[in-house]
Structure 1
């Protein structure tokens, strides 16, 4: 024999076919009652009378076609169907809340992804500039997923060319026509030797002629400022190659190779007595680090905004 809920389920099963705003309001009331532990306790939370809450729960049950809870002098208790419905209701409300959050984010000014790359072992002052640029960018009206990768100079340029990075910061030899290279700052490179090297005791005033007959480690990627032009020193005996500063340092520390390192990177090793500069006035050069991106016509608004913040961060710290 049908009870009233079965009859309504057969004849007026509106909620299970189409969810309305009323249904959502009734579901939120139902969950509030559960969280409060009963209809009487939910009065304060919902700011309505107990009879109004009871009526709303009854309307929800009528819309569904089955009883959700037992309520009366014996207290408040969910039916087995009510327990299952409560789980589905919470998932529904969570999904609605997530949708509303996503919709609000889409309406923000900047939305998308920003993929950045930089060389490793940058000076702390350099990283401070990048951190300040990120802080500036995050202060904008944005909803952007940010990723940061540390790569070799060759990899940085390749990833920007292939579109897997939006921006790279490093040394760049090539000047490809479809990319734009913007100078950011200079880094001083100095020639060093290790304590076990025969030139260690003469360091500080070593001539170019004195280092000519010794083995050198050199970068596997070219640096424009160290190509032998404009009086830059170019060693004749390069017997080892490395694609990052850490590898260069290892080879110099062997005592078998001379090599150039960024002054800031070598400083801790110099303080420990493991390395010494050969002749900072004569055997050194400055290399400019650039940020490389696609040409302005192919940039999106997210990348352009970050470029503006990065340039501003460098100007703030340098006092320009």
Structure 2
């Protein structure tokens, strides 16, 4: 499972606390026992075979069933046990409206036997993780969700266009900066918003795509790109004179963050999380 999540043996080493040869040996033993080739590895990179995909899907179902069994037995005893996996988009910790930490604190008081695991990724990947039952819930923008996913709004995050201090636009006065000038510069875009574009992105020259906000901040700081960042996240660099907001009235927008979870998930830990989040945000 860890090898698939990390897309290879080397990347899975830290999670498993095993070196690559040991992981490779265990995989070979598993393939021998199953009499199946589960993955291709080598210079071309890691990739599951068709048999590997089926075994991985079955293994996920097995672990999910075991977890459900543990939870059901504990429920009979009036307890909540097991693990609760929560996904979240990056750079939320500096947002004053982000209440997940206090929710986790209260959750720990009410369900001390449940271990909470946090996972950071972009909205597109988090939605896939939800659908594949790798996580139970996620704090994320929901652009388009299938009927199997429930979600509700929790807060808005203000997104502002920035440039770095070495960018040609940085030294311009506000009355010198125009949308025409902005549209001539290289724009660092978020790859998971390709089906949705904030104003005035349709007119910007996309020169780099990434799914990580910290990567966008790095590109902006290079002085070669402009891009959107959450206002709370960029505050440090703005105060330090390393970034400058651009045309806030024309380009800034609010991104709605939501709590998303599987509609038919009967996990009591998920139900408690949802209840606590709704209480925290007055939903």
Measured against the shorter chain, the TM-score band is 0.5 to 0.7
Aligned to 1:211, which of 159, 179, 182?
182
Q: Does 1:268 align with 2:239?
A: no
How many residues are treated as equivalent by the alignment?
210
Aligned to 1:255, which of 223, 231, 238?
223
Is this contact kept in 1: 2:81–2:111, CA < 8 A?
no
Is this contact kept in 1: 2:190–2:212, CA < 8 A?
yes
TM-score, length-normalised on structure 2? Answer: 0.67
Please state how far the C-alpha of 1:181 moved relative to its aligned partner: 2.0
Give the aligned partner of residue 270 of structure 2.
Answer: 303
Is this contact kept in 2: 1:203–1:277, CA < 8 A?
no
Q: Does 1:187 align with 2:157?
A: yes
CA distance in 1, matches of 2:265, 2:115: 20
Aligned to 1:238, which of 187, 202, 206?
206
Please state how far the C-alpha of 1:285 moved relative to its aligned partner: 0.7
Please state how far the C-alpha of 1:210 moved relative to its aligned partner: 2.1
Aligned to 1:278, which of 241, 246, 264?
246
Residue 192 of structure 2 aligns to a residue whose secondary structure is coil
TM-score, length-normalised on structure 1? Answer: 0.60
Residues 128-167 of structure 1: CA deviation (Å, up to 9, x unaligned)? 5111111222222552122112222222111111001000
Structure 1 194/171 Cα, relative in aligned 2: closer, same or farther at 3 Å? same
Structure with bigger gyration radius: 1
CA distance in 2, matches of 1:138, 1:259: 38
How do residues 96-107 of structure 1 correspond to structure 2 at under 5 angstroms? 107=77
Give the aligned partner of residue 146 of structure 2.
Answer: 176
Structure 1 107/126 Cα, relative in aligned 2: closer, same or farther at 3 Å? farther
Give the aligned partner of residue 289 of structure 1.
Answer: 257
Give the aligned partner of residue 197 of structure 1.
Answer: 167
Q: Does 1:155 align with 2:125?
A: yes
Unmatched 5+ stretches in structure 1: 1-102
CA distance in 1, matches of 2:115, 2:138: 17
CA distance in 2, matches of 1:190, 1:196: 18
Following TM superposition, the consecutive aligned residue runs of length 4 or more in structure 1 with deviations greater than 6 angstroms are 103-106
CA distance in 2, matches of 1:275, 1:125: 18
Structure 1 277/125 Cα, relative in aligned 2: closer, same or farther at 3 Å? closer
Please state how far the C-alpha of 1:127 moved relative to its aligned partner: 7.6
Residues 167-199 of structure 1: CA deviation (Å, up to 9, x unaligned)? 011123221111112111110111111111111
Residues 260-297 of structure 1: CA deviation (Å, up to 9, x unaligned)? 111011111111111101122222111101111000x3
Unmatched 5+ stretches in structure 2: 1-72
Residue 234 of structure 1 aligns to a residue whose secondary structure is helix
